[in-house]
Amino acid sequence: MTHSEAATPSLKDLTIDNITDNVNLVNSKTPSPRFKFLLERLVIHLHDYARETRLSQDEWLEAIQFLTATGQMCTNVRQEFILLSDVLGLSLLVDSIDHPKPPGSTDGTVLGPFHTHDAEVLGHGALVSHDQNGEPLLAICTVKDAHGNPIPDVKIDIWETDSSGMYDVQHVGREKPDGRGILTSDTEGKFWFKGIVPVPYPIPHDGPVGKLLAKLNRHPMRPSHMHFMFEKEGWDKLITALYLRGDPYETSDAVFGVKESLVVGLGRVDKAMASQYAGTQEGMKLLTYDFVLVTDKETAQLRDGNSVEALKKLNMVVRIVDGLPVPDVD
Amino acid sequence: MTHSEAATPSLKDLTIDNITDNVNLVNSKTPSPRFKFLLERLVIHLHDYARETRLSQDEWLEAIQFLTATGQMCTNVRQEFILLSDVLGLSLLVDSIDHPKPPGSTDGTVLGPFHTHDAEVLGHGALVSHDQNGEPLLAICTVKDAHGNPIPDVKIDIWETDSSGMYDVQHVGREKPDGRGILTSDTEGKFWFKGIVPVPYPIPHDGPVGKLLAKLNRHPMRPSHMHFMFEKEGWDKLITALYLRGDPYETSDAVFGVKESLVVGLGRVDKAMASQYAGTQEGMKLLTYDFVLVTDKETAQLRDGNSVEALKKLNMVVRIVDGLPVPDVD
């Protein structure tokens, strides 16, 4: 770094009114137009926030300490920043922007912080949960395209809590995954497994995010649900969950994830079904759902169109590069 | 939490367009109007940011990982989130908002992450730095009010790096403070001490903030400076620093702290001075500065007035409670 490089632009006497433009000018030397755009909007919003709230130094320091504590709460099995994003509604918003759904396809929802990459690959009919205290559940589902054609060979990641409302990773001394598994759809697009009836549970609230919720007089509960993630080359990754109708927290999910289209009532396994599906009994709780995936191509078109339209409304002139907007400067 | 409490308002089917209002509605149950205001503006800016940039899930995850790493870089002697705030210009902005300076008073600037609370209380003439490799410096300063009246008994916290550009806390095995000390102004408002001539140095850039700067093609250097903090009951706390004229980074400070009014040229101790100030020699580098403090009352009036004016321009109707704006709702 030579003196002349260091001195462009000249930064001195920055004030409440000129600091934002100057910080963005310094940041504009990044070679990536997208990263430049992301940082530019970040600095504008961050500074506008301080200017609008007239943020005090004490409040700023409290925020610094909160963010520090949030980072330090994270371990390889706990992601407090994802929790923070979840309770502020950011996670759902980003999913909605990145994975727009055309009519007739299955809605997405929050990933949450409890997905892991070590779930076992299971065969159809396998036990996803080994919790003896859980209420047994048979799940029979399909995955299809918007025209009703089955999609085979989809990798389906499933995860749920145990009957105490805890994910496996929340138990000290976890030796192997439980309450989670990976299935693959068959030629009919079908997959089935045995789990337990999901229960409502609190998100971890013994850390900074829990303190924030308490300060906001908000409860930390999530309604009963089971997570599903669908992946197959050429298809838009679907991160979703099914929620149980009538749950006490159905309309007050701490992380804003519930969509009416994802709320299901459970049925009962009948006699014929019990004889068809190994290891099930008549009267056992039954979950059925037909998931509908969208191609990568259709999602990309929809996303690009949404982006252009939304940013036009904001009077921002952009072009789409690799599926993401950057300012259109000549 | 009863069902009816949990169910107000009904949160389901949140979309890109309605999620912000709904999150703010849930958050509005906090009893503090100021905290409600801070959260409301935070959620609005956070969501607007995602909507404007069409933030992707991959980018969101990268941000989550960045914030996590930033939190985990923090120790009791390193504050990576303050560094982040500094390099984004937020720290200077917040200081400017919280500590407005009327004409004739000394400008404030960034606190930085290296102030500690364990500096020793020293007498006038004491050595603030014991670094044998530093170039000796005599500092003779005063602290006065806007009318030129001396202010005695002001607590003055002073800190600077050693000649290698490192603060004491950056050295492994630090046993006691060095390069820092606390003085008290005398009846003439005067304080004097011996330190070393400040040198330019990089902010710690082996962590997430350093990676961010590299990605932005920004250097991590701060121009040579010495920190000062002034505290006395009834007077607005002044956090400032003096910068050396002609420093190669004078106009490109990585944390945007330089103000022309704080840039000083060093003089030389003359013969008369050397005989007057114990332990100094003729020819030794000399720093002189007259600091001007503002009363708490005057600062509060100025701050309140600035707040009302700024928010009026933004068409936000507020009232000032305990020195900070909250929305004025009937």
Q: pLDDT tens digits for chain A (330 residues)?
A: 444 444 456 788 999 999 999 999 999 999 899 999 999 999 999 999 999 999 999 999 999 999 999 999 999 889 999 999 999 999 999 999 999 999 999 999 999 989 999 999 999 999 999 999 999 999 999 999 999 999 999 999 999 999 999 999 999 888 899 999 999 999 999 999 999 999 999 999 999 999 999 999 999 999 999 999 999 999 999 999 999 999 999 999 999 999 999 999 999 999 999 999 999 999 999 999 999 999 999 999 999 999 999 999 999 888 999 999 998 875
pLDDT given at position B8: 52
* 8 Å CB contact of B14 and A89: yes
Which candidate in A51, A221, A240, A304 is best for mutational testing of the B interface (most B CBs within 10 A)? A51
State which H helix or E strand residue B146 sits in: none
pLDDT given at position A77: 84
Please report residues of B whose CB lies closer than 8 A to that of A7: 251-252
Please report residues of A whose CB lies closer than 8 A to that of B64: 79, 81-82, 85
Asked if A68 reaches chain B (Cβ–Cβ under 8 Å), the answer is yes
CA dist., res. B140 & res. B124, Å (int): 10
pLDDT given at position B327: 86
Q: Which two tokens stand for residue A264?
A: 């299901």
Cβ(B244)–Cβ(B258) under 8 Å? no
Instruction: Give A259 to chain B, closest Cα distance, Å.
Output: 4
CA B15 from chain center: how many Å? 39
pLDDT given at position B174: 87
* 8 Å CB contact of B60 and A94: yes
Residue B41: partners with Cβ closer than 8 Å, 6 or more residues away: A49, A52, A53
pLDDT given at position B1: 40
pTM of the predicted model as reported, rounded to 2 decimal places: 0.93
Residue B14: partners with Cβ closer than 8 Å, 6 or more residues away: A89, A92, A256, A259, B22
Cβ(A223)–Cβ(A253) under 8 Å? yes
Which among B30, B45, B71 is the nearest to A215, CB-wise? B30
pLDDT given at position A327: 86
Place of tokens 């600062």: B299
Which chain A residues in 253-312 lie under 8 Å from chain B, judged by CB atoms? 253, 256, 258-260, 263, 303, 306-307, 310-311
pLDDT given at position B10: 74
Asked if A60 reaches chain B (Cβ–Cβ under 8 Å), the answer is yes
What ipTM goes with this model?
0.94
Please give chain B's pLDDT, 330 residues, in tens: 444 444 456 788 999 999 999 999 999 999 999 999 999 999 999 999 999 999 999 999 999 999 999 999 999 889 999 999 999 999 999 999 999 999 999 999 999 989 999 999 999 999 999 999 999 999 999 999 999 999 999 999 999 999 999 999 999 888 899 999 999 999 999 999 999 999 999 999 999 999 999 999 999 999 999 999 999 999 999 999 999 999 999 999 999 999 999 999 999 999 999 999 999 999 999 999 999 999 999 999 999 999 999 999 999 888 999 999 998 875
Please report residues of B whose CB lies closer than 8 A to that of A251: 6-7, 10-12
Cβ(B23)–Cβ(B40) under 8 Å? no
Reduced to 3 states (helix: H, G, I; strand: E, B; else coil), residue A145 is coil
All domains of chain A, ordered by start, with CATH?
A: 105-294 (2.60.130.10), 302-330 (no CATH)
